[in-house]
């Protein structure tokens, strides 16, 4: 089985119910970079090495978004980001803790996708 994709880059796609709200959460609250251009109905988040796509063409059913899945995203400063996230009104699942991959905390995005944010590097 090959680990390369000859038709284009690999990415994670999340179905969102409100594109503006999700773009604000991922780009403004979390500080992830929006790609300079995106296809219609999609906001590409230029994370590396795997980008993310927020898609509004098929919204998730309430309470089902990402059930059983947690995305792990490396960030520069978990403690500062935790303060930013909680100040925005997002509900973090507790305070940052030292875990198996460094300092970390988990938060749900506006559609309920769980994100574990951990110190990168």
Report the alpha-carbon distance of residue 108 to residue 51 in Å, rounded. 19
CB-based burial, 13-47: b 16+ in 10 Å, e otherwise: ebbbeebeebbebbbebbebeeeeebeeebbbbeb
Mean pLDDT per 10-residue interval, the chain, length 121 residues: 49 89 94 91 89 82 74 92 94 92 92 90 67
Which CATH superfamily hosts domain 11-59+66-119? 2,3-Dihydroxybiphenyl 1,2-Dioxygenase, domain 1 (3.10.180.10)
User: What is the structure's pLDDT at 31?
Assistant: 93
- The per-type count for the chain, helices as H runs and strands as E runs, is 2, 7
Domain residue ranges in the chain = 11-59+66-119
pLDDT score recorded for residue 101: 82
What was the pLDDT predicted at 57?
Answer: 78
The answer to whether the CB of 51 falls within 8 A of the CB of 34 is: no
Assessment of whether the complete model's pTM goes beyond 0.75: yes
Q: What value does the CA radius of gyration of the chain take, rounded to a whole number of Å?
A: 15
Residue 6 is predicted with a pLDDT of 44
In this prediction, residue 118 carries a pLDDT of 93
């Amino acid at each position: 089985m090959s680990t390369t994709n000859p038709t284009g880059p690999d990415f994670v796609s999340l179905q969102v119910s409100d594109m503006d709200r999700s773009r604000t959460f991922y780009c403004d609250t979390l500080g992830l970079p929006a790609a300079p251009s995106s296809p219609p109905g999609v906001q590409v988040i230029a994370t590396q090495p795997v980008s993310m796509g927020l898609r509004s063409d098929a919204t998730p059913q309430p309470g089902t978004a990402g059930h059983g899945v947690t995305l792990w995203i490396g960030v520069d400063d978990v403690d500062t980001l935790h303060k930013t996230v909680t100040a925005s009104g997002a509900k973090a699942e507790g305070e940052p803790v030292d875990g198996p991959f460094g300092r970390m905390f988990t938060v749900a995005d506006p559609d309920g996708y769980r994100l574990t944010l951990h110190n990168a590097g």
